[in-house]
Amino acid sequence: MSISLSDFVHGLPKAELHLHIEGTLEPELMFELAARNGVRLPYADIEAVRRAYDFSNLQEFLDLYYAGAQVLQTQRDFHDLAMAYFRRLHADGGVHAEIFFDPQTHTERGIPFAVVVEGLLSAIAEAQATLGLSCGLILSFLRHLSEEHAFATWREAEPWLDAFVGVGLDSSEVGHPPSKFARVFEEARQRGLKVLAHAGEEGPPAYVREALDVLHVDRIDHGNRALEDAELTARLVREGMTLTVCPLSNLKLCVVSDLRDHPMKKMLALGLSATINSDDPAYFGGYLLDNYVATARAVGLSREDLIQLARNSFTGSFLPHGEIDRRLAQIDAYAAQHPHGWEA
């Protein structure tokens, strides 16, 4: 029986490792929460919101992303937001996710840290119970804010540290190098948390080096611009460093001007442990499955490439080793069942 590319990827067990939960706020839910919470939106209707999603760089996106997050106010809002994402991940054939949340986006406007975290944790428990998904939560610091602000957030997070798998670093990259947060990341590492940083999305290869050498990251989020530096690229290969790459995000934020120019095929050919992820799917026009399928079509990913990407999504995850091995065995079994991949 022949299957389509989309069916093939759908059935492939896979994890999403780069997803901002605030970036899954669909315009429909934005309007629903605005009505529920009495928030006035600067858009006439849902179509007007979608029309506004035309970005020429990261900052233009971030401005709308932070504005959209204003409708998130109660524990139930955060729960509903995350459940909508989990249902979508499940529908895409995803089985595990490690998701970022940006507490400062919410505490800055008076929403208690507890409201955000408890809403997300209750959704994670529900997704596990009802959809069989596993999920790790990553506290991400906003790099355009100060180190002091990050430390204040870190202290607020103290009662929930056991609930997080790691800390991340996101927001406006250029001008805010990883080294700005060396001390708070060191504390997080000392507490046994994994450490991640967005680097090389818009920032130079030097930021990727800093993420490695100063923050001692366990994963690099994006990492595209590392390819400009052959020595750095070779090091990432040698160290088996996972890159959480987000092709449709790269297209929407003009990191690449055409998906056919996306470096994913090259990354795999070089032996980089690249993964495919959706970043902020409500803003970038596609969830996990869309990212795989659009990238496969645009750059010509093979059956072996797609299997490698699915494998990388587990070997690069923070799941226990036994669980990673179990998922890799499932991928092997799936690959054996589909020796010819899909029908073009």
Q: Which of Zn ion, ligand ADE, none does 80 bind, CB closer than 5 to 8 A by kind?
A: none
Check binding of 202 to Zn ion (CB under 5 A).
no
Stretch that binds Zn ion, among 26-34, 105-113, 279-287, 296-304 (CB under 5 A): 279-287
Q: How big is the CA angle at 145 (ends 247 and 74), to the nearest 5 degrees?
A: 80
Identity of the residue, 24 or 233, whose beta carbon is nearer to ligand ADE in the bound complex: 24
d(CA 221, CA 224): 9
Check binding of 279 to Zn ion (CB under 5 A).
yes
In one-letter notation, the amino acid at residue 211 is: A
**Residue 61: closest CA among 244, 207, 197, 252:** 252
Identify the DSSP state of 129.
H
Stretch that binds Zn ion, among 61-69, 256-264, 276-284, 310-318 (CB under 5 A): 276-284
d(CA 219, CA 136): 14
Identity of the residue, 249 or 313, whose beta carbon is nearer to ligand ADE in the bound complex: 249
The runs of H, that is alpha helices, within 205-277 are 205-213, 230-238, 247-252, 264-270
Q: Which of ligand ADE, Zn ion, none does 23 bind, CB closer than 5 to 8 A by kind?
A: ligand ADE
Report the interface residues with ligand ADE, using CB under 6 A: 20, 23, 58, 65, 170-171, 198, 201, 249, 279-280
Q: Which of Zn ion, ligand ADE, none does 171 bind, CB closer than 5 to 8 A by kind?
A: ligand ADE
What does each C-alpha distance from 182 to 87, 196, 264 come to in angstroms? 36, 12, 30
Residue 247, CB-side half-sphere exposure with 13 Å CA sphere: 28
Q: No. of H helices and E strands in the chain? A: 17, 8
Identity of the residue, 72 or 197, whose beta carbon is nearer to Zn ion in the bound complex: 197
Identity of the residue, 26 or 279, whose beta carbon is nearer to Zn ion in the bound complex: 279
What minimum distance in Å lies between the beta carbon of 160 and ligand ADE? 21
Note if 228 is an active site residue. no
Q: Which of ligand ADE, Zn ion, none does 201 bind, CB closer than 5 to 8 A by kind?
A: ligand ADE
d(CA 199, CA 326): 30
> Pick the catalytic residue: 22, 173, 201, 210?
201
- Please report, as ranges, the residues that interact with Zn ion according to CB under 5 A: 279
Name the residues annotated as catalytic: 201
